[in-house]
Amino acid sequence: MPDMEYDLPRAGGLLLAIIAIGVAGLVFAPFMSARTVLMMVLPSMVVFAGLAFALGVKHGEYRASR
C-alpha cells in the first residue's frame, strides 16, 4: 500500500497544479476568451479548491480521531 503521508506544501502544490492544468486547458480552448477565464473562472476555482481542501482536512481529522 502506498504511503499517504502528505504535508501542507506537497498537498498545496498538488492543488495548485490541478488548478493550473484546468485553467491552461480553458485558456487554450476556443470557446472562451482568456480574459474571461483569468478574471472569472480562475478566482472561483481557487476559492472552491480552498474550501474543499479545508473541508477535506477537517473530515480527515474527524475520521482519524474516531
Owning domain of residue 42: 36-66
pLDDT the model gives residue 50: 93
pLDDT the model gives residue 1: 53
Total count of domains within the chain:
1
Q: In tens digits, what is the pLDDT along the chain, a chain of 66 residues? A: 566 677 888 888 989 999 999 999 999 998 889 899 999 999 999 999 999 999 988 998 899 888
Q: Does any domain span residue 11?
A: no
pLDDT the model gives residue 20: 95
Q: Does any domain span residue 40?
A: yes
The model's pTM is 0.78
Q: Does any domain span residue 48?
A: yes
C-alpha dihedral sign at 13, 14, 15, 20: positive
